[in-house]
Amino acid sequence: MPGDPLIAYSSRAIARPFYYANAHEKDRVDVQLVPMSVASARQLAASVDVEGFELLDHVSAVSDFSDHEQVAAVHVPEVIALLKQVTGADEVQVTPRGILRFSEKSGKQGSSDNSHPARFAHIDISSKTAAEFATRGAAGRKFRRCAAYNLWRALSPAPQDVPLALCDARSFSRDDLIVADAIFDPPGGAPEWSFESWVVAPGPGHRWFYYPDLNRDEVILFKTADSDPERAQCIPHVAFDDPSAPDHAPPRISIEMRATCYWWE
């Protein structure tokens, strides 16, 4: 990659940052841009339980990922089947609506709920939120393990101008994480709601990776929480501008699905 790209970290200037899904002009995150090496992960043979992420081949039967009904009816069962196969979980619960995101060059960022690229390093849920969500999803049933995952797919052709950077789970510590609040402000005036998450402070030992030239039949599986302390717990991730992408690169369009896996007692 020609020149190190800039990773948007958060400084510690704000005691408890917060950020919105849509109204980013109201965010209170003190962003600190840091040049960091971001290496290709294609030859890494990464594992979601070691590095915290991996690349999977997956052909979807969905013809239009912007069709929420089709995503719920077709893609959700696909994600459940894929995660059961990859993780061996007994049950997989998937959020029925996929999150479409658009790079700024598309002019479509903000055109739908939560559609901006995630422009500062973060982890979707804190360990506190993960435990709350796990208990709620289990509905009183006892589990021996619970893990939360994101499944990320590029829908625009390669090269992606704003790909996803992923930080090796072994290269950062909990001291690098800053408690924050993720605030969801649905379009149309529905009540706001929020939960605790993490933003990420700079760390010289952080090892960042990305998957260049993704196609529609590849998905990145990455970890956002895991109750098993012997496995990767979660990983920081962020959208970044790829300095090697040509000016004519198509604007990135992506979809992510969020899932929780249970292993019952």
Tell me, what's the pLDDT at 188?
Answer: 83
Average pLDDT of the segment spanning 173-197: 94
Beta bridge mates, 256: 99, 152
Q: Is residue 17 within 8 Å of residue 32, measured between CB atoms?
A: no
Two structure tokens written together for 169:
């789970």
User: Is 54 in a helix, a strand, or coil?
Assistant: strand
Give residue 242's pLDDT band: very low, low, confident or very high (50, 70, 90). very high
Sign of the CA dihedral running 114, 79, 179, 35 = negative
Higher-confidence position of 109 and 253: 253
CA distance 131 to 121: 22
Q: Is residue 222 within 8 Å of residue 48, measured between CB atoms?
A: yes
Neighbouring CB atoms inside 10 A of 52's CB total 27
The yes-or-no verdict on residue 3 having pLDDT over 80 is no
CA distance 183 to 163: 24
% of residues, the chain, pLDDT over 70: 99
Q: Is residue 151 within 8 Å of residue 219, measured between CB atoms?
A: yes
Q: What is the overall mean pLDDT for the chain?
A: 96
Domain 6-264 fold: Jelly Rolls (2.60.120)
Tell me, what's the pLDDT at 132?
Answer: 98
Q: For 236, how many CA atoms within 13 A lie in the half-sphere containing its CB? A: 31
Two structure tokens written together for 179:
């408690």
Average pLDDT of the segment spanning 164-186: 97
CA distance 238 to 122: 7
Give residue 2's pLDDT band: very low, low, confident or very high (50, 70, 90). low
Tell me, what's the pLDDT at 154?
Answer: 97
Tell me, what's the pLDDT at 113?
Answer: 85
CA distance 149 to 204: 26
Q: What is the pLDDT of residues 6-18, one digit of tens each?
A: 999 999 999 999 9
Closest CA to 198 of 14, 13, 18: 18
Give residue 1's pLDDT band: very low, low, confident or very high (50, 70, 90). low
- Give the list of residues 6+ apart from residue 93 with CB closer than 8 angstroms, or none: 137, 259, 260, 261, 262
Please state whether 50 falls in left (phi above 0), alpha (psi between -120 and 50) or beta.
alpha
Q: What is the pLDDT of residues 46-79, one digit of tens each?
A: 999 999 999 999 999 999 999 999 999 999 999 9
Q: For 51, how many CA atoms within 13 A lie in the half-sphere containing its CB? A: 21
Tell me, what's the pLDDT at 108?
Answer: 87
pTM of the predicted model as reported, rounded to 2 decimal places: 0.96
By the 10 Å C-beta count (0-12 exposed, 13-18 middle, 19+ buried), 14 is classed as middle
Domain regions of the chain by residue span: 6-264
Q: Is residue 201 within 8 Å of residue 10, measured between CB atoms?
A: yes
